[in-house]
Amino acid sequence: MQERLAERRRDLGFVATVREFPAVRPVYHRAYIDLLGVGTSGAFHVVETKIGADPMFVLQGLDYWIWTMAHREQLAEHFTHQLDVPVAKAPNVELDFVVAEKLGAFVSPYTAAQAEALDRSIRWQFHTIENWDAEPTTITSLGRHRSPSGPRAAEARYAQRLDADLVVRSEPQLHRRVFFAKSGGGISASAKSAYDALAERGALHGFVDHVRSSQAFALNLFAGLEEAELRAVWAILEPSVTTIGDVEFEYVDSADALGESQSSRPHQTQVDVLLRGSAADGTRYIALIEVKLSEIAFGTCSAFDSPRNDRRDLCLSPGPWGGDTSNCFQLRNHDGPARRRYDDFLRPAMVTTTANGCPFRELNQPMRNVALALALLDRGEADATIFALCAPAGNAHVWRQWRGAEAIFAAIPGLSLKALPAEGMLAACGPTRRQALSARYGLVNDNT
């Protein structure tokens, strides 16, 4: 079957393949990648092949993906100079599972769940092959992050279940299966003006027209709220607020208190939704709301992932920034021209320490939001701040991470953390918006 695939490599989108490429699997065992291919984009493709169900299918492919990632620069040089196949210096590595049916099954009941549990940064794809040993041989590519159908030992993850449901709800308006055919097609009428304003600012996300876009979700939830609806939201976040301000989307600190806007790494922290309000006693509040739809986690630390990080030992050391703010590669801004200032506002002593390395490896997004909230306090824009997560209650993974954020940021003066389940927003909305959100996202609130 491997030989047949090598002959039909262009059906898989490859320009070159090498069979049985020598590699290493844990722990220090010589092994061979079934096919190591180069795609039309110049990326490496690790191809794992099976005939019939094998419960180790995904894990074996993952072993080879890890090895190829670790050696991709040397492999690129090998392919370019010795095999005369041009490859980028540090190419992407993708994982392809090719499987033929045997005894009525393509994959084991564990395969889909294992594949869906892979980190989303790993680009994987399944291909099924029929009549591998005869003509006509048919190769079917299932598309990125889609598994063959069949018996499952565990139900699909939340993102996959939500994806399937949202596609059904919006199917007549979609193209390429998951994107709205018309720009802004997934935006409700009440959110259209906010959507247009973000478009004018150049602040729309590249995937805003995806059925699972969190930015579209935030706009549909919060844009165009009537005063009574906005008051009901504040009643959840901080009941003492009586005077309310406008809703801001994709807020960026123009003063750049965190020192993020630099030519080498210009990205600044963006707040999905920012609310301002004040209580009868004059206390001014700012609420920074992170909105998630199907993402199962907050953004990871780019410094930890960087191959240039010369102090990854700090990432694995207990406490904020590994207990050494002077040498943390994140605070050094990847050795950019100026240092980032997160710890000027979020001081290490404010954070409940953990024994499992720097907590911001996995909670980088909450850390930046909390640091920004404290910077706004320091600047006198508010007397108290709120950091909140708004996500569907069914997204158990992101709420599990949120509990981790609550644990480490629980004792910071001037800051409170609030959970805002998206279903709870329905209770704050009028009947028109409630009906639209229910139809678009399937949100249901028992009290509505």
- pLDDT tens-place string over residues 189-224: 999 999 999 999 999 999 999 999 999 999 999 999
Pairing of strands 284-291, 384-391: parallel
Percent with pLDDT over 70 in the chain: 99
Arithmetic mean of pLDDT, 2-6: 93
Instruction: For residues 348 and 384, give the distance between their C-alpha atoms in angstroms, rounded to a whole number.
Output: 20
Mean pLDDT value across residues 345-351: 96
SS3 291: strand
Rounded average pLDDT over 159-184: 93
Q: What is the pLDDT of residue 59?
A: 97
Provide DSSP, 368-428: HHHHHHHHHHHTTS-SEEEEEEEE-TT-HHHHHHHHHHHHHSTT-TTEEEEEEEHHHHHHH
Q: How confident is the model at residue 304 (pLDDT cuts 50, 70, 90)?
A: confident
Instruction: With H, G, I as helix, E, B as strand and everything else as coil, classify residue 127.
Output: strand
**What does the pLDDT average to over 311-319?**
92
Write out pLDDT tens, residues 141-150.
998 888 898 8
Backbone torsion region of residue 177, taken as left when φ is above 0, otherwise alpha when ψ lies between -120 and 50, otherwise beta: left
* Reported confidence tier of residue 176, pLDDT bands at 50, 70, 90: confident
Most confident listed range (17-21, 148-152, 332-336): 17-21
pLDDT at residue 446 in the model? 54
Q: Is pLDDT above 50 for 448? A: no
Q: Does the structure show a pLDDT above 90 at 230?
A: yes
Mean pLDDT of 418-437: 91
Domain spans, the chain: 2-155, 189-299+362-441
Q: What's the mean pLDDT when you consider all of the chain?
A: 93
Name the H helices within 87-226: 111-116, 158-170, 192-201, 214-222
- Give dist(CA 81, CA 56) in Å, integer: 34
Give yes or no for residue 140 having a pLDDT over 60.
yes
Q: Would you say residue 349 has pLDDT above 90?
A: yes
pLDDT in the model for residue 203: 96
Q: What letter does residue 81 receive in the DSSP assignment?
A: I
Using the predicted structure, report yes or no on whether residue 447 has a pLDDT greater than 60: no
- pLDDT at site 265: 66
CATH of domain 2-155: 3.40.1350
Place of tokens 């020598």: 22
Place of tokens 């209770």: 427
Residue with the larger pLDDT of the pair 265 and 167: 167
The per-residue pLDDT for 445 is: 73
Number of H helices, E strands in the chain: 15, 13
pLDDT of 191 reads 96
d(CA 218, CA 337): 34
Q: Is the pLDDT of residue 284 over 90?
A: yes
In tens, the pLDDT along 22-74 reads 999 998 899 999 999 999 888 999 999 999 999 999 999 999 999 999 999 99
Q: How far apart are CA 8 and CA 25, in angstroms?
A: 27
Tell how far CA 17 is from the center of its chain.
31
Q: Say if residue 320's pLDDT is above 70.
A: yes
Question: What is the mean pLDDT of the segment spanning 438-447?
Answer: 82
